[in-house]
Structures are given as C-alpha cells and as structure tokens.
C-alpha cells in the first residue's frame, strides 16, 4: 500500500504541511536530515511539506518520532488554528473541530481540547480491520492514557497485547513500539489523553 495519496480536499492537510515544515526548520534540518532521522524518504517529506500529499498515520508517527513529539502533539499543533479554538466561554463546537483522516486506513481523529488546555484530548475512530503501528520514539516525552468509548481495541504495547472493551482504559508507561488494531467487524471509538513529560 502506498503512503502517498492525492491531496485531501480540506485545509487541514495544508496545516499539517506547514507544521511539519516549521518543526523541521526550527531544528535547522535539511530534508535529507529529517529523512535520515525518520526513515521517511526526502521526496515524500517534500511532497507532504508542499501539501501535495496527505501523510498516513504511520508516516506521521515516524516524523513525530524524529521531532521527539507525540503524534497527538504534532496533529494538535496543526489543528490549533483559529477556527478550532474554544470561544471566551470555553466552548468548542463540534462542527468547528478539525478532523483528520488517515488516507491509508480511514482512521479518523478529532481534537477535543483547544491549544490553551493543559492536556491534549482527542477522539479516534478506528475502522473495522484497521491497524496503525507507531515507533517507540513517537511516545517520548509524553504521558498518555487510552480510553475505549465504543467497541473493542487490540492494543500492542511492546511485546504485551491487551484486549480492551468499552469503558476500559490503559495508562501507557515507558516508550515502546505500539500498535492500535481493530480486529472486529465494527468501528472502535476511543479517546487519547496526553500530557507532556520532561523525559522519555
């Protein structure tokens, strides 16, 4: 399966492109340096930064690991545009929240909290049969909890495998290679709660 797809019809792809480019430039990395650090080809990174292609969740995981940011943090920074910010009463309307869809699996992510809230909370919809792996480095410097809202989630935490049902939570420990998998015939919906840590 290709990790490059046609551009998505919304401006979230453009925001992700700008965020990836900004994170790379902030570190004064060339495309080649980011490619070496992430394992994603320089050509693919260039297309992502130009907004010509929407990266898959797997590619975002590799890029965020190279930046030492969680995937949730990278996407939240991209989603934290004015139309996704809570009003003065702290109300963020569902219709205003940006939703990102992984072109590879159909995985959908909606940011629940605004950029001023001290924790990042996102709602994830994982389609039947979808499997999304992330490298350990994508979990560096973050503390994370996964809460299954509907359905079943097969969660691989390093060598351990956890079968999580509706209402179950798991608090993630030290960074490890992880896989979010839906082995059922129906969608799984879960929340990810993330805070920044000072060490991996």
pLDDT band for 76, please (50, 70, 90 cuts).
Answer: low
Q: Does domain 91-196 have CATH number 2.60.120.10?
A: yes
Domain boundaries, the chain: 12-78, 91-196
**With a threshold of 0.75, does the pTM exceed it?**
yes
Q: Which CATH class is domain 12-78?
A: mainly alpha
Cα torsion 37, 98, 182, 169: sign: positive
Q: If DSSP codes are grouped into helix, strand and coil, which group holds residue 63?
A: helix
More reliable by pLDDT, 21 or 5: 21
Residue ranges of alpha helices (H) inside the chain are: 12-26, 31-38, 42-49, 57-67, 71-79
- Average pLDDT (133-162) is 92
- Average pLDDT (1-24) is 67
Instruction: Give the DSSP H or E segment for 124.
Output: strand 120-126
Counting beta carbons within 10 angstroms of the beta carbon of residue 153, is it exposed (0 to 12), middle (13 to 18) or buried (19 or more)? buried
Examine the pLDDT at 133 and tell me if it is beyond 80: yes
Q: Are 25 and 66 in contact (CB under 8 A)?
A: no
HSE value, Cβ hemisphere, 13 Å, CA-based, for 132 = 29
> What percent of the chain clears pLDDT 90, i.e. is strictly above it?
48
Counting beta carbons within 10 angstroms of the beta carbon of residue 1, is it exposed (0 to 12), middle (13 to 18) or buried (19 or more)? exposed
Question: In the structure encoding, which two tokens stand for residue 99, read together?
Answer: 């939703």
- Determine the pLDDT at residue 9: 40
């Amino acid at each position: 399966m290709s990790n490059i797809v046609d551009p998505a019809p919304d401006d979230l792809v453009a925001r992700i492109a700008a965020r990836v480019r900004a994170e790379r430039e902030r570190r004064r990395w060339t495309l080649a340096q980011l490619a070496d650090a992430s394992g994603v080809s320089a050509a693919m990174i260039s297309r992502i930064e130009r907004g010509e292609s929407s990266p898959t969740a797997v590619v975002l995981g590799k890029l965020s690991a190279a930046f030492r940011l969680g995937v949730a943090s990278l996407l939240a920074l991209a989603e934290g545009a004015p139309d996704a910010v809570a009003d003065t009463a702290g109300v963020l309307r569902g219709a205003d929240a940006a939703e990102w869809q992984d072109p590879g699996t159909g995985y959908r992510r909606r940011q629940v909290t605004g950029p001023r809230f001290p924790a990042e909370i996102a709602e994830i919809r994982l389609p039947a049969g979808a499997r999304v792996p992330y490298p350990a480095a994508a979990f560096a410097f973050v503390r994370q909890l996964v809460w299954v809202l509907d359905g079943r989630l097969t969660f691989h935490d390093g060598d351990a495998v956890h079968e999580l049902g509706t209402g179950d939570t798991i608090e993630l420990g030290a960074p490890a290679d992880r896989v979010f998998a839906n082995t059922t015939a129906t969608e799984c919906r879960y929340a990810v709660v993330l805070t920044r840590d000072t060490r991996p």
